[in-house]
Amino acid sequence: LTSRFTKDTARFKDELDIMKFICKDFWTTVFKKQIDNLRTNHQGIYVLQDNKFRLLTQMSAGKQYLEHAPKYLAFTCGLIRGGLSNLGIKSIVTAEVSSMPACKFQVMIQKM
């Protein structure tokens, strides 16, 4: 997916540009909306926040599902990690849910 989108675009100048691509273009293609918030500490850690994550909206009616929600985010963590890998960035991606259907994905860039 990332290879197909980036073949006609200019090279990214840094990892922040790549993360912006993931938050805008990649996320829009997969989930039909952009990430709501992107934060960084400028030391290789990025936090992507989606306030109405599509995969959690159906089960967000009850709090009884809150403890099971991270299981549904494992696939998305893999999507992010795979997309970054295709763009030459090795990363560790984790997810957390504090109130549904909002979730945060933490991306730790691993220096090679």
| pLDDT tens column, 33-91 | 999 999 999 888 999 999 999 888 877 666 677 777 888 899 999 999 999 998 889 99
pTM for this structure? 0.85
Task: Give the Cβ contact number of residue 69 at 10 Å.
Answer: 21
Cα dihedral 43/49/55/61 (nearest 10)? 140
CATH 3.30.70.330 assigned to 15-109: no
The answer to whether 23 and 10 have CB atoms below 8 angstroms apart is: no
Alpha carbons 22 and 74: distance in angstroms, whole number: 17
Instruction: State the pLDDT at residue 50.
Output: 96
Is the pLDDT confidence value at 6 over 80?
Answer: no
